[in-house]
């Protein structure tokens, strides 16, 4: 999970700071080994798609302990915390976009803005191709609700992130408009009224405590 991080170069109009994000979602093997369970996928070929939001933030904290980084979450509240364990009042907001505070030093879930930025293939160093074309191919092959779970079958977007176009994933921030927990990003197709073409948008969803999905980790600094 730390060997496949991709560096994302900021666009000041959309993302305020550079960050690193995992090329793949967390796999079943990585997830179970982190929680000291017997790995159900010894070949590390499938990603975890049955994680609660609370398990996802717990995974991030355990990864931080393993990598000797500060914790990122207060697991009692789901809030992001700084390197001293202090609650971060709010994610920095500029022109309607939310950004992670530089006070969060460890691994965490991406914010929804970061997730959408990279899902659309955005990075000032790497931006190429059309994510919409790949999405159309995905929707032709299978319905998004079935969600591909095998790493080798995942589609790559234009900057080399796998599974981020066809799967839904957990995200987090400290904006408490709908609650801090159970935040999910996913793609939704819709008809454009002016020409009846299919198009796609990222939507944010607040789920219940028992809903299950996958996730990938993000960190604002290089790690060893």
Helix (H, G, I), strand (E, B) or coil at 135: helix
Instruction: Check residues 200 and 126 and name the one with the higher pLDDT.
Output: 200
Confidence of residue 13 (pLDDT cuts 50, 70, 90): low
Residue 127 tokens, joined: 């931006």
* Residue 55 to residue 52: CA distance in whole angstroms: 5
Give all strands (DSSP E) within the chain, no chain letters: 5-8, 19-22, 73-74, 79-80, 92-94, 97-99, 169-171, 183-191, 198-206, 218-219
Q: CA-based diameter of the chain, in Å?
A: 53
The confidence score (pLDDT) of residue 21 equals 94
The confidence score (pLDDT) of residue 25 equals 93
The confidence score (pLDDT) of residue 223 equals 47
Helix (H, G, I), strand (E, B) or coil at 92: strand
Cβ atoms of residues 164 and 191 within 8 Å: no
Average pLDDT over residues 104-129: 79
State pTM to two decimals. Answer: 0.84
> Lowest-confidence range among 117-126, 168-177, 182-191?
117-126
Cβ atoms of residues 138 and 144 within 8 Å: yes
Residue 102 tokens, joined: 């530089």
Highest mean pLDDT among 29-43, 95-109, 130-144, 202-216: 202-216
> Tell me: the pLDDT tens digits for 128-155?
557 767 776 666 655 544 455 677 778 8
Q: Exposed/middle/buried for 96, CB within 10 Å: 0-12, 13-18, 19+?
A: exposed
User: How many other CB atoms are found less than 10 A from the CB of residue 61?
Assistant: 21
* Residue 198 to residue 191: CA distance in whole angstroms: 5
* Residue 165 to residue 52: CA distance in whole angstroms: 20
The confidence score (pLDDT) of residue 86 equals 83
Instruction: Check residues 191 and 30 and name the one with the higher pLDDT.
Output: 30
Q: Is the predicted pLDDT of residue 157 greater than 80, yes or no?
A: yes
């Amino acid at each position: 999970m730390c060997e496949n991080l991709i560096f994302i170069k900021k666009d000041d109009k959309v993302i305020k700071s550079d960050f690193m994000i995992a090329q793949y979602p967390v796999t079943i093997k990585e997830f179970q080994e982190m929680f000291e369970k017997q790995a159900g996928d010894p070949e590390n070929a499938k990603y975890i798609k049955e994680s609660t939001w609370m398990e996802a933030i717990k995974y991030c904290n355990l990864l931080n302990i393993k990598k000797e980084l500060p914790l990122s979450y207060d697991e009692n509240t789901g809030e992001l915390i700084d390197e001293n364990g202090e609650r971060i009042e709010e994610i920095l907001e500029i022109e309607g976009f939310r950004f992670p505070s530089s006070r969060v030093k460890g691994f965490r879930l991406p914010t929804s803005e970061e997730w959408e930025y990279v899902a659309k293939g955005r990075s000032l160093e790497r931006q190429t191709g059309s994510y919409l074309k790949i999405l159309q191919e995905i929707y032709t092959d299978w319905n998004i609700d079935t969600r591909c779970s095998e790493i080798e079958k995942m589609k790559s977007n234009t900057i080399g992130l796998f599974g981020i176009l066809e799967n839904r994933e957990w995200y987090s921030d400290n904006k408490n408009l709908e609650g801090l927990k159970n935040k999910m990003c996913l793609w939704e197709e819709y008809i454009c009224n002016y020409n009846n073409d299919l198009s796609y948008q990222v939507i944010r969803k607040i789920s219940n405590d028992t809903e299950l999905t996958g996730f990938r980790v993000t960190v604002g600094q290089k790690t060893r």
